[in-house]
Chains A and B, each alone.
Chain A
């Protein structure tokens, strides 16, 4: 039996509109599926960020925006001492918080991954829950703990360790670092845990078999192989904290003010959007550069650990 001349699917497809043809391909189906969240992110993330970047090159006179190109905002953001100091302090705080958080979290991630047994999921749940609840309340709580008449001072007084309350506990950079490190501790665990889980246990056994003790095993196997997790954890803490607004406001005092507070002022009371935008863009660019430098540094360290 011979059917009528078979039409090739390719020929048939040629009759379709190019868009329809594209949507039938694997790539087309993929883009179609991801398009709703992607378009959303384009419109509400990329779009607004472009607007902010554009704003940072404009200027404002009371309520009117002058759209002639100017670098004046960046000059102010990067050279005026007040903004420069805030930017440097924010960077210092975020880098410190990131390293403190990761160093303190690493043993916990290690414990859960190596000794968590059947309860790994439960451990992760217990550790990450505080991260999800009571953002404001947790910061407020540190204010209550670190305050002049706070829980810590009262306890130390009661124990007789100090004779009068310490005023150095709160309203400074240290208080900001402590509060932020506590806030982000739980989040840093996750990438560390994931990278430790991926670590093939037999590699450690092989290293032991070849004569390495626990310290050398850690330095030569575990640390280099979990470096991606360490880097991810550092970034996931460092980048968001550089722009934290509530912590410096509640526990930072005058000495603990950060760049986000200055940005907020420009979008609120002072109402100088272009300057606020330039501060925001400068912060992002500089924190990205610092992040890049840290990544390169740790990649170099990884190469040294052999």
Chain B
């Protein structure tokens, strides 16, 4: 990135007692970027977000926002605002008062304050609800009020701590679209914490995947999904078939492998540095495997036996045992051609896209 980053995380450690919650984190988040911290619970993503907001201090290392070190600067003096997981809507204030809460300290004058509150309410489509008390709102409404309350402060960075996790599925999907839209419209940096890989994939410009206090990979959603750096990342972002290789060699930007029961394959490292080929592993996403129907031909045919079948409505996942492979392989097919009718126990022929194999650090 050529421009100075909006947020610069430098060698950040966080130690609670003798538990290392964050381990030498480094990341740069650009201006206007929608950046997600994705990982399982306890991976440290919320701790990192709270450090950016000023609710926790790093044990060592530092965080810069807009080029300025934030060490020792309390949350009220940082150019960030946060949407809390619980939304933290003040129940003793009404919606307008909630939104005006931070403005009161800016002493803008009554007219300007009211104007900003009106605009914020309109922005989140809650214009009618100004006088409603904080504890009389639905989950979705509270989420919008929390958003408006933060945005009205015109922060440089908006921090969102699992903001959609309390909503039901339909509302969550609708809010994902709205949040993304809102971010494009106002153009400030959003940092989102989530454990939901689909949420991160659909909303973000870039994602940092975290495990056990470390960042495993920072990349665009497409790269993260198609080209995960490690086995853990691949596993966390949807299904991945891990394959046994009898031979595996890395040569420059390509790798070659012999997969028992499948054959010899090659693939690209795609910019990854595989430091230790001995522990590397080959994988392929289930949707990159296809059934070869009777009468069809394909270049590479792999035969196996259907061990199990899971029906998902519009598609079916077949679990296939391939001789020579220690782990079973799953194949996802739409039901247009009758994948849901293939009996368990029958023989099956499958094929793969030549460029679909991925190499990952184990």
Contacts and interface: CB of A to CB of B under 8 A. Distances in A.
> Do A and B touch (CB < 8 Å)?
yes
Interface of A: 1, 3, 6-10, 12
B62 A6 contact: yes
Interface in B2-49: 4, 10
Interface residues of B, number: 14
Nearest to A24: B57
11 contacts: A1-B67, A3-B64, A3-B67, A6-B69, A7-B69, A8-B60, A8-B61, A9-B57, A9-B62, A10-B59, A10-B60
Nearest to B11: A8
A145 to B, nearest CB: 48
Contacts of B57: 9
B183 to A, nearest CB: 24
B58 interface: yes
* From A3, A6, A9, residue with most partner B Cβ within 10 Å: A9
Nearest to B13: A10
Nearest to A9: B71
Contacts of A3: 64, 67-69
Contacts, number: 27
Contacts of B10: 6
Q: Please report whether the interface of chain A is mostly helix, strand, loop or mixed according to DSSP.
A: loop
A78 to B, nearest CB: 47
A3 B58 CA distance: 20
A10 B12 CA distance: 12
Interface in B63-98: 64, 67-69, 71-72
A7 B67 contact: no
A7 B64 contact: no
Given A1-B67, A3-B67, A9 B60 contact: yes
Given A6-B62, A6-B64, A8-B60, A1 B4 contact: yes
Given A3-B69, A6-B69, A8-B71, 16 more contacts: A3-B64, A6-B10, A6-B64, A7-B69, A7-B71, A8-B60, A8-B61, A8-B62, A9-B57, A9-B58, A9-B60, A9-B72, A10-B59, A10-B60, A12-B71, A12-B72
B3 to A, nearest CB: 8
Interface in B106-159: none
A10 B64 CA distance: 15
Q: What 7 pairs between A and B have smallest CB-CB spacing?
A: A9-B71, A1-B4, A10-B60, A6-B62, A3-B67, A6-B69, A8-B60
A12 B68 CA distance: 15
Nearest to A12: B71
Contacts of B61: 8
Contacts of B60: 8-10
A6 B61 CA distance: 9
A54 to B, nearest CB: 39
Contacts of B72: 9, 12
Nearest to B68: A3
Contacts of A8: 60-62, 71
Contacts of A9: 57-58, 60, 62, 71-72
Nearest to A1: B4
Contacts of A7: 62, 69, 71
A298 to B, nearest CB: 34
B333 to A, nearest CB: 42
Contacts of A10: 59-60
A107 B59 CA distance: 53
A3 B62 CA distance: 13
A1 B60 CA distance: 22
A7 B64 CA distance: 11
A14 to B, nearest CB: 12
B59 to A, nearest CB: 7
A62 B185 CA distance: 89
Contacts of B58: 9
Contacts of A12: 71-72
